[in-house]
Structure formats: C-alpha cells, structure tokens
Amino acid sequence: MLTVLSAYFLFQFLSGGAAKTLSKAKATPAGSFKMAYFEMDSVEVNFELVKELKDELLKKEQGIEQEMQKMANNMQERYNYYQQQANTGLMNQSQSDAAGRELRNLDEQMKNRKQALDAEYGDFVMRRQNEIKAKIEEYLREYNSASSYTYIVSYEPGLFYFKDTAYNITADLVKGLNERYKPAAKK
C-alpha cells in the first residue's frame, strides 16, 4: 500500500509541479512563442535517479513493515503469555490489570512508532522529490539556453489534446539528466 501511495505521490509531484512551466533563460522577441514538452512517465522510467529513489522507497517500506511486524509479534507474545497465565489461574486481579495496562501501552507505542515512521517516510519522499525536481529544472534551464523555448511543460495524457512530436525533448532530457547524474553517483 505504501508503494502504491508513494508512486502516486511521486508521479503527481513530479508531473504536477516539476516543470509544468519553466521560464526560459533568454528573452523571446515579442510575437515569438515556442513550446517544448517532455513525457514525464518516460523520465520516471528512464532517469537513473528516479529508479534509485524507487529502490530506496521499497527498502524503506520493507524496513517499516519489518519493524512494525516485530512490534506486533512482541505484543502477541506478551498477550499469549498473559492469556496462558490467566488460563492456568496464576494471575490475580491486580496482575491481570497490570497485564492489561502493559498491552495497552504496547499497542499505543506501536501506533506512535508507526505514525513516526510514516512521517519520516513522507519527509524523505518529499526531500527526494524536491531533489529530482531541482535537477530536472536545472537541466532544462541550461538546455533551453540554446533552444529558446518560451515554455517547457511535462506532458500528461488527457491534459493536452494535441502535441507535435517535433517539440518532444524527452530523449534529450533523459540523456542529459543521466549523464549528469552518473558523475555525482561516483563521488
């Protein structure tokens, strides 16, 4: 569920805000207007940094699941222990009350930890999405210094009803982003 949710947020964030409208580096003469676009889904599939982010998210999700499962198992073991004690008559009323408080505390700790892990995960996703968005915007600014487009937008099906593929810069964008990203990864 976290994977689907994070993929949705990643797609919405990057396609919705990550370069919908980037101003160009040079001023365009009055009356001149050129627009280019890129396929955001292709960037998501082919940009190495996005692939890396997806792998990181999967690992984080698995870590969260493992930690929560460990806590749930611990709580279940305590419950089973107290249940066995109660069934054999080894617990008096005050011990039973203390066991109930302990189980409620464990449950509350588990909920609080889940909430904290989810918040950390959300912050991580947002930071990494902003990093990717910044890299795309930075590259497009430099790319556009020679191209003089008035706008460069990300294409989403259903948003535009016509597109001239002559102005599709997706291949250039993915190639340029990956060329820039590889040296940074080797540091």
Query: What is 87-116 written as a DSSP string?
Result: HTT---HHHHHHHHHHHHHHHHHHHHHHHH
**Predicted confidence (pLDDT) at residue 47 exceeds the cutoff of 90:** yes
More confident residue, 12 or 61: 61
List C-alpha distances in Å: 76 to 69, 91, 102, 108. 10, 18, 12, 14
- What is the domain extent for residue 24? 2-185
Which DSSP state fits 168?
Answer: B
In this prediction, residue 25 carries a pLDDT of 37
Q: What is the mean pLDDT of the chain?
A: 84
Is a pLDDT exceeding 90 seen at residue 107? yes
pTM beyond 0.95:
no
Count of domains observed in the chain: 1
Phi, psi at 90, each rounded to 5° = -90, 0
- What is the pLDDT, as a whole number, of residue 164? 77
